[in-house]
A and B are shown apart, each in its own frame.
Chain A
Amino acid sequence: MLKSCSCGSGQCSSNPLVDLGTPASRRSEMVSLTIDGIPVTVPAGTSVMRAAAEAGAKVPKLCATDQLQAFGSCRLCLVQIEGRRGFPASCTTPVEEGMRVTTHSPRLAELRRNVMELYISDHPLDCLTCTANGNCELQDMAGVVGLREVRYGMAGENHFDAQHAAPIDDSNPYFTFEPAKCIVCSRCVRACEEVQGTFALTIAGRGFDSKVTASAGESFLDSECVSCGACVNVCPTATLSEKSLIQLGQAERVVTTTCAYCGVGCSFHAEVKGQQVVRMVPNKAGGANEGHACVKGRFAWGYATHPDRLKHPMIRKSIHDPWQIVSWDEAFQHAASEIRRIQEKYGRKSVGGITSSRCTNEETWLVQKLIRTAFGNNNVDTCARVCHSPTGYGLKQTLGESAGTQDFLSVEDADVIIVMGANPTDGHPVFASRLKRRLREGAQLIVIDPREIDLVRSPHIEAKYHLPLRPGTNVAMINALAHVIVTEGLVDEEFVANRCEKAAFEEWRNFILRQENSPEHVAEITGVSAELIKAAARLYGSARNGAIYYGLGVTEHSQGSTTVMGIANLAMATGNIGRRGVGVNPLRGQNNVQGSCDMGSYPHELPGYRSVKDDATREQFNRYWQTELDPEPGYRIPHMLNAAVEGIFKGMYIQGEDVAQSDPNTKHVHEALSNLECLIVQDIFFNETCKFAHVIFPGASFLEKDGTFTNAERRISRVRKIMEPLAGLADWEVTMRFARALGVPMDYKHPAEIMQEIAALTPTFAGVTYEKLDRLGSVQWPCNDSAPEGSPVMHVHEFTRGLGKFIVTEFVPTKERTSRKFPLLLTTGRILTQYNVGAQTRRTANNLWHHEDRLEIHPEDAAERGISDGDWVHLASRAGEVKMRAKISERMQPGVVYTTFHFPDSGANVVTTELSDWATSCPEYKVTAVQVTRSGDPLPWQTEYREFSQEQTSLLPGQSSLSKAT
């Protein structure tokens, strides 16, 4: 039995591996009863089963699990209740005051044994060779009820023998479905409905013919199944089993860690055998995910041991030279001497670096520390620059803190939810499941997005309003919504008067009342009717609890920061800040976007979002670090690239970001990178950026190191080492030794020591320690003396900045406009099974679902151009041209096309432009004027780049498989 609980017994109710049978009741009134004579007091609405579990009684069960609503089908959990007839099922019977329950008696034992006998009469007796051997609830329960014989024999009608067994469905790459072992408890079906919200599974047939079916009798792969694994998770038998478990057998230990994909930051129990992960099981006690997961975190971790992993440090003089494998020391010495040489030749500020939102807080901290202390300048930026920098800026200006206001759990109390420029079912699937559950409970949804995303309408949910605005018109839309709220008296005057700056509000109110912000006027700009805008505004404005969730569709615009501020204005105006169920919630793209920003990865800000120009802050760091920090802000990423093209910026240390693929206007980026004299790349794969590098520090995956990630809800969670780094060093060790080679002393024995330094120097992290994280599982910053266990909801009594500040948000259309030459607007996004530039997911079986990027185009636009589904098309903008295949889709509005950017081949960023957010330089990925034509030959750019890639691959030391020819 795998054990993981704080008391160490493995049996207590705080142990997430102990299943209490039914979900906790959220009611507050308490009820007292006795279970087998033991008094117990539980919240009203608790099941007798759960109450019994809390009293320490174990009632046998099969169809019940505390992750699902009670179902009452297995009939093993029957109990006796004084004064009641028969044998009620304890899972479906709620407690009542004074109830006297008996969970064990000879009569109950007889009934349970006889029910179990029926189960086993239709179950194969191959326990010893079964995948679930040792981990099978059916086996456990047969033992518990003392089943000794099957009086019916095993020769009756059944589902398991050669004549009757349905074939195993192994179509899904990660798990198998073996109907012969199914006990029809419906847990999988219920998990698909209640937990995931996809409704892909059902029970077909009735009576003895009842069987679990994916969609309408399809294979799991062909069905609507999104492979989240919720069904596998709850299956009490071997019917739904991870293929890795089938192959490797039961694990020997459990390590709790945090997923390294999106900003939801799911907690997992990594089940491990030696250094081999057997499976990743979502942690029920995980604050962000509460036992749920998605196809990426649950299954797509095989990339960590993919043959393409970089395992040796390498150096070369020019990017046309072959790579040389060197020792770590040689690599550090070479890199350090190159940096010093460049600085001597081109000046102190001619070098800089990029921290990674994929790495841990501790690693990010060290990289920025290295740049500020060893490089001696503030040329440090992070990949958050290209995603959520407007969030940091916009929320800091208005609310006073560069972070979302809520925890994910908060959505349970939301009544009206706006989702703007985000596609949670693909980008943040585990949060999307929570959101969908709340919608099924009756909350109403407003989707503001050019595309008809899944949330607009999917099984058992439907948005009340979908506002399909033209890309690039977010600010106009937000202003119009505010206009309706102000003109129709929906402003929460009391909140505004008590919590916000009066003068700023008045200025904003006068601005928002202007005719240009009226729905009628904005309808022209956005293409969304005034009536629809008004209806949506009224719905949000009159909600008891209104919550806004947004994503990169808000930030990655030339007015990204303005929209973020507009969203904050809207929330403040309606009083939707400072309690559960409300708030302004950025859905962060990567696992540690929040953390990398918190850790001071900005050229103008030290950790904790404090200006480098602030003497007192600098002084604090100077003392602690024994250094003299540069008071001048450094370069942002786009400035670094521009300076490189100009020839005044010559050296870079990039940790875990593939700028060559992910940054806009690829040609420009490539030109910049080619101009560098020393590019040091630290990554787990030979990515696109590596092709321009001179030094490679092989990185470590999240399975190979200790540290912490901070998710979109400011939740700091532990990442724990499961295997030794493939290249010998964890990323924090690499940075530390690189710093030493540069002559700056860094000496940490463990990332816990780095966290001590973070806590000492960052007020919002002051109370964070590894000991506390181990104890609580996770904490949400601010975590300090006034909130020692963290802060799920922010700005409760006052804003971080004191009074909330309304900021005027004038709509300024992007310079990127459609024209005769480029009549369509391109916008970009993610798909569920792939992740960002795809470096990880492309090296997993997730390619089965999505193996190329396609251009989604409305049937009318396609017809006009003679394009059919699957045709190769040219996609051209003023920045460049690429070729990809078309997908005709009515999710698009006419005039707008869409693509994902997971495959380097498709080069979606070749066409995106250099335009960016006015405040933060966040690129305008979401609006590019393009033309689409049917295509024949590959493009010169693509041919050229393919040749360059082939050359780069050939330069690798005898490892042609190191990188797939990309």
Chain B
Amino acid sequence: MAIRVYVPADTTAASVGADRVAAAIAAEAEKRGESIELVRNGSRGMFWLEPLVEVETEGERLAYGPVSKSDVPSLFDAGFLDGGTHRLGLGPTAEIPYFKNQQRLTFARVGLIDPLSIPEYEAHGGLSGLRKAIACEPQQIVAQVKASGLRGRGGAAFPTGIKWQTVLDTPADQKYIVCNADEGDSGTFADRMLMEGDPYCLIEGMVIAGLGVGATQGYIYLRSEYPRCWKVLNEAIERAREFGILGPSVLGSGKAFELEVRLGAGSYVCGEETALLESLEGKRGEVRAKPPLPAISGLFGKPTVVNNVITLASIPIILACGPEFYHDYGMGRSRGTLTWQLSGNIKRPGLIERAFGLTLKELLYDYGGGSASGRPLRAVQAGGPLGAYVPAEDFDMPLDYEAFVERGAMIGHGGIVAFDDTVNMLEMARFALEFCAEESCGKCTPCRIGAVRGVEVIDRIKAGTDLEKNVQLLESLCDTMQYGSLCAMGGMTPYPVVSALKHFPEDFGLVGERHRDKR
């Protein structure tokens, strides 16, 4: 039997040469007459080890990495196909502490299976949630999602089951499931990894959502910057249709569900659900006022579930293992697991799925291993470009929605970007406003004009012009944007600015402690 060798096809792995490594392994095997089955899996999420090559021996997966093309002959020489020792050898993948200490529920199959193989998907527990859902009444499906405590993983953390209940309870001739795959937050990649590594999990989640609320059509709104994802999703949808997961009778249930991928056009604000719906309708990606909620009047004016990729991908396991199983993870009102994404100035960047409750410090040091530069970490930005900066003294706070909000921060989509002590926080605050100016849809005034003025005011602060007056003006502007903006884009831009100003006043030319105390 051919030996299975896994080389990730994941975008991150490919960016550090995985495709070249895969080709080299195939060529080398042929040259040496070795019979191998090369599987292009998803990434295990340990990016500092990519390209991470795995060999399956006696039911165990042994890891080697990071592998470059030039390492390939020596791997063969070392007999890696039989688990031979090599300087890049990492032992069994499952035993790598970074990986071993995770609680992979949503990401259970990512990196493990051939992403496009439905038999492998099924062999690893896929479709059992959908089969259970088919046997349920819609209200039972929604009730299980509610009971699981799952909250929206896109950032707003709205209880998923309640959203579904609204859609279920709104009568309409047509309802939609829309997956928000416009993963635009800096330092986030969980959606992409899931879609590239286990696309059927998302598809299954969407079908279950459709059955739950009575929707027969789904759309995945995918950012155009994810071309690999686009290919994988389309291929997966086609196979799912052939298999009967999609189509007029889902797995023979007599219930229909169809799915399509639509590409965005490079707008950050289209990750905001109402702007996303506008864009999906073929219009200018501009935020809608709420109400009406999309759950009542969403895509084309019909009741619509808009959920993030990870939210929907968490559904199959909730149905498969029951809501209690999922609910047993986590703390407080934050139930289940979150897929943390570590990046920035960090030694071991990657994806860590863990139940809510561990601390930022554990995440940054136990998993991340501290800064990549070796200098002390000074701050992290959590929750994307509009998330607050958390100073090192707050690293002990637990990773929990409410705990973050208490300290003026947001977990958001779970992206954590680390900075060492060389960072200039005024520049980071300026960047937030610049980003807002660049990405604002232009509909509401605080965001459209405020962001531009914010950059100008920060530049005056940087130049030391009328310092106190301009700092006050910046604070006033942030207040206007936070409370006056139409959507979270303008409403959250002040978070990084205000947190930078609050925690790092010295970077703004202010006398540190005195200013901090004033606040």
Q: How far is the CA of A151 from the CA of B471 in the complex (A)?
A: 12
Interface pair B452/A157, CB less than 8 Å apart: yes
Interface pair A92/B291, CB less than 8 Å apart: yes
Is there a chain A Cβ closer than 8 Å to B441's Cβ? yes
- Report the minimal beta-carbon distance from B197 to chain A, rounded to whole angstroms: 33
A156-B452 contact, Cβ under 8 Å, with A89-B289, A89-B486, A206-B440: yes
Interface pair A87/B456, CB less than 8 Å apart: no
- Report the minimal beta-carbon distance from B131 to chain A, rounded to whole angstroms: 38
Choice from A75, A93, A207 contacting B486 with Cβ under 8 Å: A75
Q: How far is the CA of A75 from the CA of B491 in the complex (A)?
A: 12
Q: How far is the CA of A111 from the CA of B483 in the complex (A)?
A: 8
Q: How far is the CA of A186 from the CA of B284 in the complex (A)?
A: 13
- Report the minimal beta-carbon distance from B472 to chain A, rounded to whole angstroms: 9
Is there a chain A Cβ closer than 8 Å to B307's Cβ? no
Q: How far is the CA of A207 from the CA of B447 in the complex (A)?
A: 8
Query: What size tier do the contact residues of chain A reach?
Result: 35 or more
Is there a chain B Cβ closer than 8 Å to A642's Cβ? no
A207-B480 contact, Cβ under 8 Å, with A75-B486, A156-B456, A202-B284: no
Q: How far is the CA of A235 from the CA of B273 in the complex (A)?
A: 29
Choice from A121, A186, A202 contacting B449 with Cβ under 8 Å: A121
A208-B480 contact, Cβ under 8 Å, with A72-B486, A73-B444, A119-B445: no
Task: Give 1 or 0 for each of B421-453: 1 = CB within 8 Å of chain A CB.
Answer: 000000000000000011111111111111111
Is there a chain A Cβ closer than 8 Å to B477's Cβ? yes
Residue in chain A with minimal CB distance to B288:
A72
Interface pair B291/A75, CB less than 8 Å apart: no
Is there a chain B Cβ closer than 8 Å to A742's Cβ? no
Interface pair A186/B484, CB less than 8 Å apart: no
Q: How far is the CA of A71 from the CA of B440 in the complex (A)?
A: 17
Interface pair A152/B451, CB less than 8 Å apart: no
Interface pair A75/B446, CB less than 8 Å apart: yes
Is there a chain B Cβ closer than 8 Å to A106's Cβ? no
- Report the minimal beta-carbon distance from B229 to chain A, rounded to whole angstroms: 24
Interface pair A75/B477, CB less than 8 Å apart: no
Residue in chain A with minimal CB distance to B487:
A72
Is there a chain A Cβ closer than 8 Å to B485's Cβ? yes
Interface pair B483/A87, CB less than 8 Å apart: yes
Task: Give 1 or 0 for each of A148-172: 1 = CB within 8 Å of chain B CB.
Answer: 0001100011000000000000000
Interface pair A121/B289, CB less than 8 Å apart: no
Is there a chain A Cβ closer than 8 Å to B479's Cβ? yes
Interface pair A207/B453, CB less than 8 Å apart: no
Interface pair A208/B289, CB less than 8 Å apart: no
- Report the minimal beta-carbon distance from A487 to chain B, rounded to whole angstroms: 30
Interface pair B446/A184, CB less than 8 Å apart: no
| Chain B residues positioned under 8 Å from A203 (CB to CB) | 284, 286, 442
- Report the minimal beta-carbon distance from A560 to chain B, rounded to whole angstroms: 42
Interface pair A114/B479, CB less than 8 Å apart: yes
- Report the minimal beta-carbon distance from A212 to chain B, rounded to whole angstroms: 11
Interface pair A152/B453, CB less than 8 Å apart: yes
Interface pair A73/B443, CB less than 8 Å apart: yes
Interface pair A152/B456, CB less than 8 Å apart: yes
Contact residues, A431-446 vs B (CB, 8 A): none
B contacts with A, residue count (CB < 8 A): 37
For B267, B442, B473, B486, which residue has the most chain A Cβ atoms within 10 angstroms?
Answer: B442
Residue in chain B with minimal CB distance to A74:
B445
| Chain B residues positioned under 8 Å from A73 (CB to CB) | 443-445, 486
Is there a chain B Cβ closer than 8 Å to A205's Cβ? yes
- Report the minimal beta-carbon distance from B298 to chain A, rounded to whole angstroms: 16
Interface pair A208/B473, CB less than 8 Å apart: no
Q: How far is the CA of A86 from the CA of B450 in the complex (A)?
A: 18
| Chain A residues positioned under 8 Å from B249 (CB to CB) | none
| Chain B residues positioned under 8 Å from A115 (CB to CB) | 445-446, 480, 484
Is there a chain B Cβ closer than 8 Å to A599's Cβ? no
Task: Give 1 or 0 for each of A196-211: 1 = CB within 8 Å of chain B CB.
Answer: 0000001101111110
Interface pair B442/A75, CB less than 8 Å apart: no
Task: Give 1 or 0 for each of B486-519: 1 = CB within 8 Å of chain A CB.
Answer: 1000000000000000000000000000000000
- Report the minimal beta-carbon distance from A102 to chain B, rounded to whole angstroms: 15
Is there a chain B Cβ closer than 8 Å to A335's Cβ? no
- Report the minimal beta-carbon distance from A869 to chain B, rounded to whole angstroms: 33
Interface pair A118/B480, CB less than 8 Å apart: yes
| Chain B residues positioned under 8 Å from A683 (CB to CB) | none
A206-B267 contact, Cβ under 8 Å, with A114-B479, A114-B480, A118-B450: yes
Q: How far is the CA of A210 from the CA of B267 in the complex (A)?
A: 14
| Chain A residues positioned under 8 Å from B450 (CB to CB) | 118
- Report the minimal beta-carbon distance from B300 to chain A, rounded to whole angstroms: 11
Is there a chain B Cβ closer than 8 Å to A631's Cβ? no
Choice from B439, B456, B485 contacting A157 with Cβ under 8 Å: B456
Q: How far is the CA of A76 from the CA of B448 in the complex (A)?
A: 14
| Chain A residues positioned under 8 Å from B439 (CB to CB) | 206-207
Interface pair A184/B442, CB less than 8 Å apart: yes
Interface pair A208/B476, CB less than 8 Å apart: no
Interface pair A208/B452, CB less than 8 Å apart: yes
Choice from B442, B446, B477, B484 contacting A207 with Cβ under 8 Å: B442
Is there a chain A Cβ closer than 8 Å to B290's Cβ? yes
Residue in chain A with minimal CB distance to B473:
A151
| Chain B residues positioned under 8 Å from A202 (CB to CB) | 284
Contact residues, A193-242 vs B (CB, 8 A): 202-203, 205-210
Is there a chain B Cβ closer than 8 Å to A310's Cβ? no
Choice from B290, B442, B446 contacting A206 with Cβ under 8 Å: B442
Interface pair A86/B483, CB less than 8 Å apart: yes
Is there a chain B Cβ closer than 8 Å to A94's Cβ? yes
- Report the minimal beta-carbon distance from B491 to chain A, rounded to whole angstroms: 9
Q: How far is the CA of A207 from the CA of B436 in the complex (A)?
A: 8
Q: How far is the CA of A183 from the CA of B449 in the complex (A)?
A: 10
Is there a chain B Cβ closer than 8 Å to A122's Cβ? yes
| Chain A residues positioned under 8 Å from B446 (CB to CB) | 75, 115, 118
A208-B445 contact, Cβ under 8 Å, with A111-B480, A152-B453: no
Is there a chain A Cβ closer than 8 Å to B18's Cβ? no
Is there a chain A Cβ closer than 8 Å to B25's Cβ? no
Is there a chain A Cβ closer than 8 Å to B457's Cβ? yes
Interface pair B452/A114, CB less than 8 Å apart: no
Interface pair A208/B451, CB less than 8 Å apart: yes
| Chain A residues positioned under 8 Å from B479 (CB to CB) | 111, 114
- Report the minimal beta-carbon distance from A214 to chain B, rounded to whole angstroms: 15
Q: How far is the CA of A183 from the CA of B442 in the complex (A)?
A: 11
Q: How far is the CA of A115 from the CA of B441 in the complex (A)?
A: 17
A92-B290 contact, Cβ under 8 Å, with A73-B443, A74-B444, A114-B476: yes
Interface pair B289/A92, CB less than 8 Å apart: yes
| Chain B residues positioned under 8 Å from A92 (CB to CB) | 289-291
Choice from B291, B448, B477, B483 contacting A210 with Cβ under 8 Å: B448
Interface pair A75/B289, CB less than 8 Å apart: no
- Report the minimal beta-carbon distance from A209 to chain B, rounded to whole angstroms: 7
For A115, A157, A183, which residue has the most chain B Cβ atoms within 10 angstroms?
Answer: A115
For B284, B291, B484, which residue has the most chain A Cβ atoms within 10 angstroms?
Answer: B484
Is there a chain B Cβ closer than 8 Å to A712's Cβ? no
Interface pair A111/B484, CB less than 8 Å apart: yes
Task: Give 1 or 0 for each of A57-96: 1 = CB within 8 Å of chain B CB.
Answer: 0000000000000111111001000000011010111100
Q: How far is the CA of A78 from the CA of B483 in the complex (A)?
A: 9
- Report the minimal beta-carbon distance from A660 to chain B, rounded to whole angstroms: 52
What 7 A-B pairs come out closest when comparing CB atoms?
Answer: A210-B442, A72-B289, A92-B289, A207-B440, A114-B480, A118-B449, A75-B484
Could you jot down 22 A-B contacts, CB within 8 Å? Answer: A70-B289, A73-B443, A75-B444, A78-B483, A87-B484, A91-B289, A92-B291, A94-B291, A119-B445, A121-B453, A122-B449, A152-B453, A152-B456, A152-B457, A157-B456, A206-B440, A206-B441, A207-B438, A207-B451, A208-B440, A208-B451, A208-B452
Interface residues of A (CB under 8 A from B): 70-75, 78, 86-87, 89, 91-94, 111, 114-115, 118-119, 121-122, 151-152, 156-157, 183-184, 186, 202-203, 205-210
Question: 18 new A-B pairs (CB below 8 Å) besides A75-B485, A152-B453?
Answer: A70-B289, A73-B444, A78-B483, A78-B484, A92-B289, A114-B484, A118-B446, A118-B449, A151-B469, A152-B457, A184-B448, A202-B284, A206-B440, A206-B441, A207-B447, A208-B451, A210-B441, A210-B443
